[in-house]
Amino acid sequence: MTMSDIQNHTRDYSLVGESTRRAVETGLASAQWYHSEVPRKVMKELMQRRDGPAIRDTIIWLGLLVASGAGGVYFWGSWICVPFFFVYGVLYGSACDSRWHECGHGTAFRTRWMNDVVYQIASFMVFRNPVSWRWSHARHHTDTVIVGRDPEIAFMRPPNLVEGILHYIGLLDVVASFKVMARNAFGSLTPSEKSYIPESEWPKAIFAARIHMAIYLAAAIASLLMWSILPLMLIGLPRFYGCWHMFLTGLLQHGGLAEDVIDHRLNSRTVYMNPISRWIYWNMNYHVEHHMFPMVPYHALPRLHELIKGDLPEPNPSMWHAYVEMVKVLLRQRRDPEYYLRRTLPATARPYREEFHADDAVPAASSIA
């Protein structure tokens, strides 16, 4: 494609534009999504919420967070503090994302107040407004990768690969999040935010932003008074230096896959990961399964995967394999924004909508080595 062709194929990813109108008119908005068949009794068991697993994992998470932070403070001024802050950064800037996510769904704990407390803590750590992001993520599940409806599409076509790389050091994301939080704190919500946040929740979003900004301001003042960056190394900056694992895993969820389909097998990716990454990520590597059945708690996703994997595309065997697959597609999309990776369903899978599987539907890649 020429540059002119690419510009002509650039889509409107705003939540109040032409793509939004088209999604509503074509029935893609709030549509009926495909679900793999799971016996009712088994699904009821899988959806059973329990406090035990999340209490255990939260104690480990917060214990390691305190221990690594204490080590970083104790050895501050010496190179010995580096590994402590490396661990602290990942626990603060990456593990908080999965805790925010699961507790936002209300599935991590059985006890509601436990979900709410961890959700508020994790929202602060990941620098997200706890009110607006709860509604944003609800929309993401209702209209997953539906252009004009989903506010959480990471790679817009044609993709900006420089921005994608900068995500790993948190530069663009944190700066953008800070601007949004500051704007919310001053009482301003954009038309896009108002499109998915109920009007009754607007004052709560503004109040939450003011609380977050006040805490960050206190940390900044403490750093100035102490004439040391140490307070910010503990509060705020870990979102920069520790977010790399969050993006390493999170960008694989939907990157390079189909837009505007209502089958999670085609627009989401399940990736096998090592036990440490799975613990940090709280099993969100089973992402097709999570989107199909978002009320299944994180600790039950491996079992759900075993039950329905015959109806799903072959999982990526590793993060490396998934990145090779995704990056090839993203590079191709720089030249051809209509291109995407079409997930191949196994012979045992049930088809859903034939137009999403037909070879002549749109330019697509069937597989990537």
In the chain, where the domains are located: 3-356
With a pLDDT cut of 70, the percent of the chain lying above it is 92
The predicted structure's pLDDT at residue 166: 80
35 Cβ contact partners less than 8 Å away, ≥ 6 residues apart:
292, 293
pLDDT digit string (tens) for 296-339?
A: 999 999 999 999 999 999 999 999 999 999 999 999 999 999 99
Give the per-residue pLDDT at 180: 93
* Position 55 confidence tier, pLDDT thresholds 50, 70, 90: very high
Per-residue CA distances from 317 to 255, 325, 343, 365 (Å): 16, 11, 15, 19
Strand spans (E) along the chain: none
Tokens standing for residue 124: 């602060």
Whether the CB-CB separation of 331 and 160 falls below 8 Å is answered with no
- 7 contacts: CB under 8 Å, gap ≥ 6: none
The pLDDT score that the predictor gives to residue 7 is 47
pLDDT the model gives residue 355:
55
- 262: tokens are 């209502």
How high is the pLDDT of residue 96? 96
Q: Which residue did the predictor score with more confidence, 367 or 300?
A: 300
Between 258 and 166, the higher pLDDT residue: 258
pLDDT over 60 at 81, yes or no: yes
Interval 41-52 mean pLDDT: 96
Residue 366 has pLDDT above 70, yes or no: no
Q: Which amino acid is at 200?
A: S
Task: Give exposure, 261-275, as e/b (b: 16+ Cβ within 10 Å).
Answer: bbbbbbbbbbbbbee
Is residue 228 over pLDDT 80? yes
Nearest Cα residue to 132 out of 184, 205, 210, 190: 205
pLDDT at 229 over 50: yes
Q: What's the N-to-C CA distance of the chain in angstroms? A: 24
What is the SS3 assignment for 152? Answer: coil
User: 113: buried, middle or exposed (CB in 10 Å: 19+, 13-18, 0-12)?
Assistant: exposed
Residue bearing the bigger pLDDT, 168 or 79: 79
The tens digit of pLDDT for each residue in 241-296 reads 999 999 999 999 999 999 999 999 999 999 999 999 999 999 999 999 999 999 99
Average pLDDT, the chain: 91
* Confidence band for 116, pLDDT divided at 50, 70 and 90: very high
pLDDT at 368: 40
Instruction: Give the pLDDT score at 364.
Output: 39
In percent, the amount of the chain with pLDDT more than 90 equals: 81
The answer to whether residue 58 scores a pLDDT higher than 80 is: yes
Provide mean pLDDT across the span 13-31: 92
Rounded Cα gap, residues 209 and 73, in angstroms: 28
pLDDT of residue 169: 72
Q: Which amino acid is at 193?
A: E
> What per-residue confidence (pLDDT) applies to 173?
83
